[in-house]
Amino acid sequence: MDASLEKIADPTLAEMGKNLKEAVKMLEDSQRRTEEENGKKLISGDIPGPLQGSGQDMVSILQLVQNLMHGDEDEEPQSPRIQNIGEQGHMALLGHSLGAYISTLDKEKLRKLTTRILSDTTLWLCRIFRYENGCAYFHEEEREGLAKICRLAIHSRYEDFVVDGFNVLYNKKPVIYLSAAARPGLGQYLCNQLGLPFPCLCRVPCNTVFGSQHQMDVAFLEKLIKDDIERGRLPLLLVANAGTAAVGHTDKIGRLKELCEQYGIWLHVEGVNLATLALGYVSSSVLAAAKCDSMTMTPGPWLGLPAVPAVTLYKHDDPALTLVAGLTSNKPTDKLRALPLWLSLQYLGLDGFVERIKHACQLSQRLQESLKKVNYIKILVEDELSSPVVVFRFFQELPGSDPVFKAVPVPNMTPSGVGRERHSCDALNRWLGEQLKQLVPASGLTVMDLEAEGTCLRFSPLMTAAGWSHCGTTTRYDCVRSRLTTRLPGSTGEQAPP
């Protein structure tokens, strides 16, 4: 990288790239030294102090930063370590420094440059994710894009909203439909951002008889829409999942799109499975998301890129309404939010981008195939063959219980017996998850509690791509698989606590 920096004519840009590389290297080297000194503790620097009269050099400031990053002497030794971000991460970080530098240009140069950056990034993302003729909004808070889309939908359906404000909403209240499997707190966030009362939210239950219990019940949704229309309400927007927050299941987006077109409802899609739109083969349920009105994606976690904004792609023909809704801006500096992603996409290239998504999906499929060969493992996403998320649960054969126990209640078992067996399995899965996270911290395994299934383990390499994007990925994956099989009770490895 140093040799290539010499070719840059602008000395400020060259110095910026050099300083960034040196700063990151200093922090990473200090991290490695700290890990090697097992018995030593860092002196706490958490107590605020006065600003020193004389300035400090960059090395001293970075030393303070790395001390704060590593925590104090009371930090547990098993806390997660900071990931090395790699060369592609340096490009994303450079984008923030470069953005500050670019903002000092004269207005005309700044306008041309930021317009080019925004146009390029929007075009690339729309082509990668099969979203034709779309626009893009870049935002730091992942939910912010959906809030802006809701504003756009309100302005589109209520023509007098700009003049009369909330008075027009009072006469015909808008309704936003969310799945019961939506991520926690999303509805409250939208109401707070939009200034809407909670009754404007409608929670759509998931399937209980047919299909996945983590997919939205389409028939029940249609009934809710009809009921709201009869009550004089306005069905405004539906949030569908292409990969639920818990288990990675995808709603029947094609059927939901038909329903939204029938009743004039805006369809917004979000979820980790949207990443698979970049692949050559895409499941029909996810492919239908390319026809939605808007969708939010998080390329930063998917690609292992730090400080890269989330992106909401949308389609709308009225630039005045998108400006009022906050999806577009006349300020050139607002367009610079796309700069870290613009740099990173060029560094990775189309092939590198697709390869990272493909690799993460392959890791999930390999783990799923391995889990099928392990006794007493129940995989909750077997029907989602193309899902990059694997959720599984270990169930134990208890002493004196039926040898074909499947961790589900049997008809002649008392409620107290069912509760004891479920509690035992939940405790065992929590222990197993914590053991795996300690032994293989970069695995990205998480422990979660599901209402119907109990405590489960989730493997989603797309959301922890920083831990899988460097050399040693195969070794790390094999370590997860071997640790999993040897830590299970009944295997030759360590036994779970009684």
Structural domains of the chain sorted by starting position, each given as residue range(s) with its CATH number in brackets: 92-349 (3.40.640.10), 351-398+419-487 (3.90.1150.170)
User: 10 Å Cβ neighbour count for 305?
Assistant: 28
CA-based R_g, the chain, Å: 25
> SS3 of 439, please?
helix
Terminal-to-terminal C-alpha distance of the chain = 54
- Please tell me what DSSP assigns to residue 284: H
Comparing C-alpha atoms, which of 371, 425, 378 is closest to residue 398? 425
* C-alpha to C-alpha distance for 470 and 459, rounded to whole angstroms: 18
Quick one: which H or E segment has residue 286?
A: helix 284-287
Per-residue pLDDT at 211? 65
How many Cα neighbours within 13 Å face the side chain of 86?
15
Cα angle: 172, vertex 167, 235; to 5 degrees: 25
Per-residue pLDDT at 294? 98
In the sheet that holds 174-179, the strands lie side by side as: 135-139, 310-314, 294-297, 266-270, 234-241, 174-179, 201-204
* C-alpha to C-alpha distance for 198 and 9, rounded to whole angstroms: 56
Contact 377, 406 (CB under 8 A): no
Contact 194, 151 (CB under 8 A): yes
Per-residue pLDDT at 54? 84
Q: How far is CA 161 from the centre of its chain?
A: 33
Per-residue pLDDT at 51? 84
In the sheet that holds 390-394, the strands lie side by side as: 377-379, 390-394, 454-459, 446-450
Contact 92, 340 (CB under 8 A): yes
User: 10 Å Cβ neighbour count for 180?
Assistant: 14
* C-alpha to C-alpha distance for 328 and 148, rounded to whole angstroms: 10
Contact 393, 455 (CB under 8 A): yes
* C-alpha to C-alpha distance for 495 and 498, rounded to whole angstroms: 9
**Residue 377: exposed, middle, or buried by beta-carbon count in 10 A (0-12, 13-18, 19+)?**
middle
* C-alpha to C-alpha distance for 384 and 247, rounded to whole angstroms: 10
Mean pLDDT per block of 10 residues along the chain (498 residues) reads: 58 67 67 56 61 81 76 50 64 82 90 95 97 96 97 94 86 95 94 95 85 86 97 97 90 96 98 94 92 96 90 95 94 92 93 92 86 83 69 69 41 56 85 82 82 87 65 54 59 48
**Residue 482: exposed, middle, or buried by beta-carbon count in 10 A (0-12, 13-18, 19+)?**
middle
Per-residue pLDDT at 189? 97
* C-alpha to C-alpha distance for 190 and 119, rounded to whole angstroms: 28
